[in-house]
Structure 1
């Protein structure tokens, strides 16, 4: 029997939440706290608890509440008042995209210079080549990656922003961007959704970059070379070795070769199983609370790799600073299914194919 003795019935908001939850979940006790309401329940009384909680969550989130289902020594649903969020205008996305196009175009200008025949219009031909063969493929791969997250999030009725592209200060022979991201405006409803949204981006980005590998390989071998300057050398991820698409290190990289390499290697970086990275979402969804142990192990691996490439040390320190732990889904107890297991195996394969221990050397 429900115990309503400590419910402030004169508060219409509390009454509204209580009545809504009781329409979906049979509870045996309700506790009202200053910041939340806790509904205790028994699994035996709620055989369809996963489905019911999913339906309940969508309604509560639309009302501005954050529900969470907890199975510990007690089984309960806790409903908290969500913080009011103010989302930026889509104009910000457009401005950041324009700035990123300009910053990557500046980078592409330098990468393209070795392949431009001297002449009166050399500047504009270099700009055009930089856009077509560097900026366009790079931002396409990054953009498709983020739209992969966006589309799958919308499929699961999780609100998400359009992609934010991150420009970088224009420097000669940098790539001109720190990548892109989307902002999820709703929490993950369960571990299945967390896994699938996290994996959608890397899968979509890799699928976009894969055919471009062959285009870049063809252009690398056929485009005439007029200068010979190599700012740094690239080590190729495993997929290049499998496909036999390795370029000689004594030849300058064609700009599309660099942009596709960045897109492939970004897949591996995003799949690091830590924090709020895509890999962090995936392992938290697949392993639940045990994911933190994999994150600890991976940080140790990064420090070990840092003995050969100092960039990994900087990334490991940054990850530690931002935090290894990943917040749980609203329903953190329901198990994942065969689809999520298959997705996890797929992204593990993509990580292996996309990774290289020493990416760049001067």
Structure 2
């Protein structure tokens, strides 16, 4: 037997071993009458015992366990279940680290500015912004890491957080993680969606309490800097009352808590693929599409009301309305087990989460001080 024949034998043996592992799971939902293989791909010919959605949902978890994925096809009058190994892309951890370091620096610059530091004249005073950096990174990082941990718990593939350095008044555009592959169930969709806002809001409250107990020194605004008057959401006002804070100037750490609440509000808008969109889709199924359709229009009307009736700056709501209009137009992908509804505990948690998000709402989040 030559070398090529031995390779073929090993390939055939591996295919048979794989079939023996996967076959018990497949026959639960698919009557098999023939099996073929081409390279590492297996073709099961037969008849589905359930609809396509249920079939792929039932097979997703056991196939994932062995590193395989499946596709159900109908060709030339017969059903074919195609099973093949999933290619594992290498994570570029260095990119996450570089973005983290860059965001750490840009937020520290903004934090130093909040303390009135002129970095051109006193570059070594940059570290005065460290408290703001630690606070805002904790708020944003806890949000994304909660998503990541819950996604991995449900067997979903997710990247580590990518922080986004950006020259805004907080030095960042936040952080994101990337999901790869389908969502296995409405339960997984809900758990992943709700974990981020709850963890981020918990950290925001903690940071706010710490910040309100810190004394903000009197600082002179830097020449050319823009000052903002912040609108305080009900949750922030409640915490202020609780700790007895009466000062007009917020410590940057408390401001990081305010930012966390505002980010939580935006993320919990029930539209598209925002966290609120995920939660609502898991709670209501496809009926959530109606609310997702209405949300950008509600935000647009809110912006118009603020601009023309209150004579204030409502551009933020116009901007988010247009953004959601674009991103919610594509709809929300269905989880594999879409027919299995959520339990009552998760429904209650979802309602509480939306209420907490509403407590982070303020009609005029910020306006420039002339």
TM interval, shorter chain, is: 0.7 to 0.9
| Selected match of 2:238 from 216, 236, 242 | 242
Contact 2:292/2:328 (<8 A) preserved: no
State the partner residue of 2:141: 143
Paired position in structure 1 for 2:262: 265
Instruction: Report Cα offsets for 1:264-284 as digits up to 9, x if no partner.
Output: 111111111112211111111
- Specify the alignment match of 1:306 in structure 2: 303
TM-score normalized by the length of structure 2:
0.75
1:357 correspondence with 2:363: yes
* Structure 1 pair 252–28 and aligned structure 2 pair: CA distance change class (3 A): same
Instruction: Please give the per-residue CA displacement for 1:139-188, whole angstroms capped at 9, x wherever unaligned.
Output: 001101111111112222222211111110x35xx111110111122321
Relative to structure 1, the CA distance from residue 326 to residue 80 in structure 2 (aligned partners, 3 Å threshold; closer, same or farther) is farther
Instruction: State the 1:286 CA deviation.
Output: 0.9
Alignment check: 8 A CA contact 1:163 1:181 kept: yes
Q: Is the 8 A contact 1:27 1:42 kept in 2?
A: no
Report if aligned partners of 2:212, 2:250 keep a CA contact under 8 Å in 1: no
Distance in structure 1 (CA, Å) of the matches to 2:249 and 2:364: 19
Separation in 1 of the partners of 2:362 and 2:171? 21
CA contact (8 A) 1:199 1:282 kept: yes
Q: Could you list the runs of 4 or more consecutive aligned residues of structure 1 that deviate by over 6 angstroms after TM superposition? A: 35-38, 76-83, 246-249
The match for 2:251 is 254
- Aligned residues: CA RMSD: 3.6
Give the equivalent residue in structure 2 for 1:165: 163
Indicate the residue corresponding to 2:100 in structure 1. Answer: 97
CA distance in 1, matches of 2:325, 2:44: 31
Matched, 1:316 2:312: no
TM-score, scaled to structure 1: 0.77
> Residue 358 of structure 1: SS of its match in structure 2?
coil
Distance in structure 2 (CA, Å) of the matches to 1:39 and 1:358: 59
Provide, for residues 91-147 of structure 1, a one-character-per-residue CA deviation record: whole Å limited to 9, x for no partner: 11101101111111111121111xx7x9xx96534x222112x11100001101111
Contact 2:163–2:175 (CA<8 Å) still a contact in 1?
A: yes
Distance across 1 between alignment mates of 2:93 and 2:236: 37
Q: Would you say 1:111 and 2:114 are equivalent positions?
A: yes
Relative distance call for 1:81 and 1:236 in structure 2 (3 A) is: farther
Q: Which runs of 5+ in 2 are unaligned?
A: 1-14, 35-42, 73-78, 307-313
CA contact (8 A) 1:40 1:77 kept: no
Name which of 24, 29, 48 aligns with 1:25: 29
Distance 2:85 2:325 in 1: 27
Is the alpha carbon distance of 1:305 and 1:87 closer, same or farther for their aligned partners in structure 2, counting shifts above 3 Å? farther
**Is the 2:296–2:320 contact (alpha carbons within 8 Å) kept by the matching residues of 1?**
no
**Greater RCO structure (CA 8 Å; 6+ sep):** 1
> CA distance change for structure 1 residues 96 and 66 in 2, over 3 Å: closer, same or farther?
farther
Any unmatched runs of 5+ in structure 1? 1-11, 44-48, 69-75
Greater alpha carbon shift after TM alignment, 261-270 vs 347-356:
347-356
Query: Which residue does 2:203 correspond to in 1?
Result: 208
Partner SS for 1:298: helix
**Is the contact between residue 67 and residue 330 of structure 1 (CA under 8 Å) also seen in structure 2?**
no
CA distance in 1, matches of 2:163, 2:298: 29
